[in-house]
Amino acid sequence: MYTYRFTTASQRETEELGERFSAYLDPGTVVAMYGDLGAGKTAFTRGVLRGLGYDCTVSSPTFAIVNEYRGGRLDLAHFDMYRISSEDELYGTGFYDYLDGTMTVFMEWSENVPFAVDEDAVKVRIEHGEGDIRIIEIDFQKEIEI
Ligand SMILES: Nc1ncnc2c1ncn2[C@@H]1O[C@H](COP(=O)(O)OP(=O)(O)OP(=O)(O)O)[C@@H](O)[C@H]1O
Ligand SMILES: [Mg+2]
């Protein structure tokens, strides 16, 4: 596992980072995102989706729990675990059905579902710096250049 560290100074920069990172994703990759409210998890995911060829509105699926995006370079399931706190609840969302290796899975609020995060999952940790600064750490199995 390699750890990469980035600093962004605006939502746009975080989206652009996600866009560049999307090139390294494969079907079946699970990306566990960590970070407070307003950290930029959705912004990062929006950039990833743009990089995969999706031209649509992307917001946190806080109430829907999961939004599916199909037809781009990869099919992607975008989860928001904000309201999930038990394995039963997670099971009820259909989460485990998405791990069949055909979908790329992004999860906001992975803090809430540690039992669902495999050791080999990609981790994206976003921390607030001063003002609009965000420190973004990515644990990834591969060497990447972004
Ligand atoms: N460097 C930055 N990167 C990303 N977002 C930033 C940055 N600076 C400021 N922002 C602002 O922070 C907010 C990030 O929102 P976003 O919805 O991506 O966060 P989130 O981590 O998904 O939060 P939530 O847990 O509520 O879903 C936006 O309002 C955005 O404009
Ligand atoms: Mg969000």
Which domain CATH number covers 17? Answer: 3.40.50.300
Which among 46, 43, 58, 52 has a CA at the least distance from the CA of 8? 43
* Domain-located, residue 146: no
Q: Does 145 map to a domain?
A: no
Give residue 67's pLDDT band: very low, low, confident or very high (50, 70, 90): very high
pLDDT at 129: 97
pLDDT at 45: 98
Give the residue whose CA is nearest to atom 16 of ligand 1.
Answer: 40
Count: domains in the chain: 1
Nearest atom within ligand 1 for CA of residue 45: 18
Mean pLDDT confidence for 1-10: 97
pLDDT score at 17: 98
Per-residue pLDDT, 18: 98
Q: Which of 8, 10, 17, 126 to mutate to test the pocket of ligand 1 (most atoms within 8 A of CB)?
A: 10
18 domain residue, yes or no? yes
Ligand 1: residue of 17, 21, 132 to mutate (most ligand atoms within 8 A of CB) is 132
pLDDT class of 102 with cuts at 50, 70, 90: very high
Query: What domain range is 24 assigned to?
Result: 2-140
Binning pLDDT at 50, 70 and 90, where does residue 95 land?
Answer: very high
DSSP string of 88-144? HHHHHTTGGGGGSSSSEEEEE-GGG-GGG--TTSEEEEEEE-STT-EEEEEEESS--
Contact 45 CB / ligand 1 (< 6 Å): no
Does residue 73 belong to any structural domain of this protein?
yes
Distance 10 CA to ligand 1 centre (A): 9
